[in-house]
Amino acid sequence: MKKVAIIGAGIAGIASAIRLAHKGFEVSVYEANSYAGGKLSSFDLNGYRFDAGPSLFTLPNLVNELFELVGKNPADFFVYEQLTEVCRYFWEDQTRLTAWAEPQKFAEEVEQITGEPAKKITQFLKDSAFKYEVLDGLFLQDSLHKLSTWTSRKALKGYLNLPKLGIFGTMNDANEKLFKNPKIVQLFNRYATYNGSDPYQTPATLNIIPHLEYNIGAFFPKKGMVSITDSLVKLAESLGVKFYYETKVEEIVVENGKVKGVKLRRNGDSNNGENTLDQISHTYNLIPTDAVVSNMDVTHTYRKLLPNEKHPNFLLNQPKSSSGVIFYWGIKKQFSELGLHNIFFSDNYQEEFRTMFDKKSIYHDPTVYINITSKHKADDAPEGCENWFVLINAPANEGQDWNEIIRQTKENVLQKISRILGQNIAELIECEEILDPRTIESKTSSVQGALYGNSSNNRFAAFLRHANFSSKIKNLYFVGGSVHPGGGIPLALSSAKIMSDNYEEI
């Protein structure tokens, strides 16, 4: 049986393990941390539970199909519910708007609150669905780095509809052209942040993203976002996949242009049950393997694990996506006006993005996202309390004075939320944890703490991501948010599928 080593137990690494084990390979996953999931993990703090990273669940079919692939019932492993509302929006002038999950209800809410005609919203969502239909099969399910992709019937459909896909204008330009109310332009511009981009630079093609929430649906895993990770690890282990935690890959061994194995280093003495490293790893620190799949950031994969091989520097040196500063706050009060997902908008959105991408800092009036899972999972917070996951978009780490940026940002954020809610939030915080671009990089190996790999702030961004395979090193593959098709749970899962579908062909 051929052996495959997977570097990193992020969501794409776990999905890759499931797909390759199903194909009959002997799969081992090596994870430097003591837990699986990467950004999709969780932690407890003073009686509060927090999902550490991604907080929005869309396209559950991409998770379900991993169970169905191996003949399992997804509901036996993983349970989720569809949300009736997507998000609650707040502005400084006390405008408040609930984005209902049902498109027509949402459109009517927008018209009632802002005066923007409901038909404009339904028109936008229909256009979003059309873009997704055209681009899904071409960009999200196939490799852009194979000739067969560009000569397929799906590609022909894309060519015929090229002017309608928003490639030649920015997201903001398209939204300003359709909507008159600046608050609605801002609401739909925010979807650029779903892959760490700037709506004033990124192509209008990204207007496909709202389709996922409104036309397909937004969902909540009943045991928290981390249950996606937990259920998939359980599935992988049932297929014979071995997970080795606190086990860092130091080098991918290549001989004559072909993968031969991985060199390992143990970070500690813990192990996952009987999944201990065999004697050869302790003696020679080398595990022979027939192939390697890296779920590690592609830049670190080359720079750190393949120091003697030629690097695709043009791709690796591309500008990075945004990062984030996250405050995890235990709040000793419940707020009825808040929901699961909440956005407090900046009064100057364009300046916020200019500050982030040009000045490499955080604007003094940032947009604030608050996720409160205790709204749907009461035991995530003590009785009468709430667990606030407070995210502020931030630039990637380039050596800024993060301690000062975080101090000032916390002060600005607390003042902003307090103004809008009419409540002193600072006095309600009884515990706190902070994540910033530096710790994001150290915990997840994301270069510069960028959450989505390379930036998507130009029309060629889709072509500036590394392929899911190496064209220079045989049997070396790549998955995860730093490679094609991009960042976020759905695209990371898609990267594993693209890799697996092309595994035997490359």
C-alpha to C-alpha distance for 204 and 66, rounded to whole angstroms: 31
Strand pairing category for 96-100 and 85-90: antiparallel
| Burial class for 309, CB neighbours closer than 10 Å (0-12, 13-18, 19+) | middle
- For the entire predicted model, the pTM comes to 0.92
* Average pLDDT for 279-294: 75
Q: Tokens representing 210?
A: 């709202």
**What's the whole-number mean pLDDT along residues 402-425?**
98
Give domain 3-40+57-72+224-318+456-501's CATH superfamily: FAD/NAD(P)-binding domain (3.50.50.60)
The Cα–Cα gap between 383 and 452 comes to 36
pLDDT, tens only, 95-128:
999 999 999 999 999 999 999 999 999 999 999 9
Tell me whether the omega of the peptide bond preceding residue 490 falls within 30 degrees of 0, making it cis. no
In which element (H, E) is residue 293 found? Answer: strand 291-294
Read off the pLDDT band of 165 (50, 70, 90): low
What's residue 502's pLDDT?
A: 77
Map out the domains of the chain as residue ranges: 3-40+57-72+224-318+456-501, 105-203
Give the type of residue at 467. A
Which pLDDT belongs to residue 265? Answer: 84
More confident residue, 134 or 462: 134
List all residues 6 or more positions away from 460 whose beta carbon is below 8 Å from its beta carbon: none
